[in-house]
Chain A
């Protein structure tokens, strides 16, 4: 049985910041990630980040991953377990079950746990949605940005949130033709600056459209044609408004839901809050769930974006360390500063959905 003072599950923006913050207070940290390198989704983000200097604004996500990973490696208080997936939490004795490199089973008892497992992609229901060539946006980013493999030649992007817009831009940078970006909502969900970036490349954005069906090539069985149709104000498809796209790739970017299995296993109280992406853990202002000693941060606590995930991670890490008695006297002040940052990030019009979700969660 391994022992850890603080186990951080997930090495994305939230987990990296949680580990660094806890170690900063003097606690020992074991950071566990299922991938072969740290960074989570940051490693696929080639755009410069928004926010302020505290969230590495104007630095590309992939470079933020590098900066934070280096800090983790240099920190003697932090042990990193890569290729390691936490698949179980035994509530009776609080033991974590970890599958290491797909062959070893390691049990770990941690005094505190920060769950920063992120989110998984939602999918869309339509005829033939399982054809080869139909991808989630995360898969396209992994293929293209991590492995240098193009997903195809002509793409229909489904979803005009930030992920759909950003991946469209990355596809165009890679020389792939994005025929259109569609979204079922009547307005663009992502940042308008991202929308303007793809618009001036000549990519049309069609709001109030959804996918009707996909059709395969008879020889290969892979996607060859996509048909979309317009939605009326009640989100009902309007027959006769169909448009056809000859595409070999359809990329689905219709949102994320929290990856909360560990929290369910631990018996954390969960609440369904659509604004936060689905079932999310109830927690206090220090990011501690209803199971004492288990903290959350990032998308698993409510789907948002990387800047706030980093701040939540820092808050959870500081809180977990403090609860074990690790506090150099600056902890309260640092926590207060992070809370102010989070409030600022969420205070504008684009934070309205998150604010609504968080107030529902707290009620």
Chain B
């Protein structure tokens, strides 16, 4: 439970998960922001108007999943590192998850890494398909990693090296 250990329960997560129909169409942002705090950079980062204007800066972000293109420009702008882009159309058996990753060493594209869930537990192995670390990301690199499709809403971190617990 978020309030006691920082890990959202399934009930807490449910309203933030894009509908299955939308997930079938390609990459989309999953905004894991559950608490009303004064913060709005996701709105100012979005170029396609998918994140609605904040009437009150304390509002939770409201995203129009149909407008969202999954471009990921919001990922590195979220001060809470709470935005992920999930693409369930990557392949027959695999999805990709793009996540903010502020640790060294950074993985290389093609490298295999441990996949971690929201509690930091290892749940599998995946392959890094992309690392974005330009000026725009401003030292919050975005790592895109393959995950077994059924873990697309489970994997939220990686461990470079890994292969062991």
Contacts and interface: CB of A to CB of B under 8 A. Distances in A.
A193 B4 contact: no
Contacts of B40: 51-52, 57
Interface residues of A, number: 41
Contacts of A191: 35, 37, 80
Nearest to A187: B3
Do most interface residues of chain A lie in helix, strand or loop, or is the interface mixed? mixed
A204 interface: yes
A173 B77 CA distance: 19
B111 interface: no
B38 A199 contact: no
- Size class of the B contact interface (CB-based, 8 Å): 35 or more
Given A191-B80, A200-B117, A348 B6 contact: no
Contacts of A49: 79
A351 to B, nearest CB: 7
Given A53-B44, A57-B40, A203-B120, A187 B6 contact: no
Contact of B58 (A57, A60, A188, A348): A348
B5 A207 contact: yes
B41 interface: yes
A194 B80 contact: yes
A50 B37 contact: yes
Interface string A309-337: 00000000000000000000000000000
A350 interface: yes
Given A193-B35, A196-B118, A50 B79 contact: yes
Given A50-B79, A57-B39, A348-B56, A188 B4 contact: yes
B38 A58 contact: no
B6 A199 contact: yes
A197 interface: yes
A348 B38 contact: yes
A152 interface: no
A196 to B, nearest CB: 5
A344 B77 CA distance: 21
A191 B120 CA distance: 19
Interface string A232-257: 00000000000000000000000000
Interface of B: 2-8, 32-41, 44-45, 56-58, 77-82, 102-104, 116-121, 138-140, 156-157
9 contacts: A48-B41, A50-B38, A57-B44, A172-B103, A200-B156, A202-B120, A202-B121, A205-B5, A344-B38
Interface of A: 47-53, 57-58, 60, 172-173, 186-188, 191-207, 307, 344-351
